[in-house]
Amino acid sequence: MKIAFIGIGVMGLPMAGHLLGAGHELNVFTRTPSKAEPLAKEGARVFDAIAPCVQGREAIITMVGFPRDVEEVYLGHGGIIKSAPKGALAIDMTTTSPALWEKIAMAARQKGLRPLDAPVSGGDSGARAGTLAIMVGGAAADFEAALPLFQKMGRNIVHEGPDGAGQHTKMANQIAIAGAVAGVAEAIRYGEAAGLDLEKLLATISTGAAGSWQMSNNGPKMVSGDFAPGFFIKHFVKDLSIAHEESKDRDLKLPILGKALKLYAAMGDAGKGELGTQAIIEAYRGENGEG
């Protein structure tokens, strides 16, 4: 397939690489062209603007950073909506605002494009291994058309519903993570204050009803003080902020989400946005801890 891939970061690079490796013909655009060099060596064509990059393409895939970036690449001057050829799949794999995506999807349909929102989970290791979970919103026929591409990048690939359903699923995922990771941090902080052996604590409680991916993967890192990012705090703040906004729009009151957002936002404000989400344990140790 003739593909344009926009956004070659820590996620986009391996994802685009899988498509290239499967024999697809790849155009790429990214704000820092040097990041696309490994793809160029494998035959991808690198562009310095979106309009020529998407010209004549059957599928356009975007994997950028924040909602403002999504808005710009789709709706901006010389962006995808203006420049992509009629009939092309327009697939955003960024985690972004469901409300923003619904606006973009409507504009895309009016131009004859086929929009899909398809955020992922699994992190950079999942992107490299091609084992991402991909949560897809949009028309069923468009999902089917894009499925062979998704299958090169991920494993657990689900058509969740209409436009925005992929983003909403990702939001629900992040909300569940927020409760789980904060619960693990509070359990460890409690155990620490009570004088427990924290390794024994985790070994005891991680196999039962308190067990979770967060406990098994981030619990030991909290205990050992390994705050290297598997998932950046700054990105989690973005995601939880979107989920919080969407909740407010629906008059939902989700206090655990609210508290977790507050703790993580405070860490971001304190310059810790480049740490991994497990660093939340620090918020409970410092004077910033708040009840």
According to the binding rule CB under 8 A, does residue 258 interact with a copy of itself?
Answer: yes
- The residue range among 1-9, 48-56, 82-90, 197-205 that interacts with a copy of itself, by the rule CB under 8 A, is 197-205
Residue 92 vs residues 114, 173, 252: alpha-carbon distances, Å: 11, 18, 26
Tokens of 10: 């820590």
According to the binding rule CB under 8 A, does residue 95 interact with a copy of itself?
Answer: no
- The residue range among 76-84, 107-115, 144-152, 191-199 that interacts with a copy of itself, by the rule CB under 8 A, is 191-199
SS3 string of 152-166? HHEEEEEEEECCCHH
- Calpha distance 72→222 (Å, rounded): 37
Three-class SS of residue 85? coil
Site residues (CB under 8 A) for a copy of itself, limited to 14-73:
none
Contacts with a copy of itself by CB under 8 A: the residue count is: 74
Three-class SS of residue 3? strand
Are 216 and 41 in contact by the 8 Å Cβ rule? The answer is: no
- Residues forming a β-bridge with 136: 159
Three-class SS of residue 135? strand
Are 97 and 245 in contact by the 8 Å Cβ rule? The answer is: yes
Among 21, 112, 148, 289, binds a copy of itself (CB under 8 A): 289
The letter for the amino acid at 31 is R
Site residues (CB under 8 A) for a copy of itself, limited to 154-183:
156, 158, 160-161, 164-165, 168-169, 171-183
According to the binding rule CB under 8 A, does residue 125 interact with a copy of itself?
Answer: no
Instruction: Tell me whether residue 111 or residue 259 sits nearer to a copy of itself (CB atom).
Output: 259
Among 226, 252, 269, 274, binds a copy of itself (CB under 8 A): 252
Strand (E) or helix (H) holding 25: strand 25-29
The letter for the amino acid at 54 is V
- Residues forming a β-bridge with 132: 154
- Calpha distance 88→71 (Å, rounded): 18
Among 149, 243, 261, 267, binds a copy of itself (CB under 8 A): 243
- Calpha distance 51→65 (Å, rounded): 20
According to the binding rule CB under 8 A, does residue 118 interact with a copy of itself?
Answer: no
Catalytic entry in 41, 152, 170, 262: 170
Among 40, 107, 139, 196, binds a copy of itself (CB under 8 A): 196
Among 42, 48, 144, 197, binds a copy of itself (CB under 8 A): 197
Instruction: Tell me whether residue 96 or residue 174 sits nearer to a copy of itself (CB atom).
Output: 174
Taking the CA of residue 136 as centre, how many other CA atoms within 13 Å lie in the half-sphere pointing to its CB?
29
Site residues (CB under 8 A) for a copy of itself, limited to 208-227:
208-215, 217
CB of 218 to a copy of itself, least distance (A): 9
Instruction: Tell me whether residue 49 or residue 193 sits nearer to a copy of itself (CB atom).
Output: 193
According to the binding rule CB under 8 A, does residue 228 interact with a copy of itself?
Answer: no
- Does the annotation count 170 as an active-site position? yes
Instruction: Tell me whether residue 142 or residue 160 sits nearer to a copy of itself (CB atom).
Output: 160
Three-class SS of residue 133? strand
Among 63, 70, 135, 222, binds a copy of itself (CB under 8 A): 135
Tokens of 15: 């994802």
Tokens of 217: 């993967």
CB of 10 to a copy of itself, least distance (A): 16
Catalytic residue positions, numbered: 170
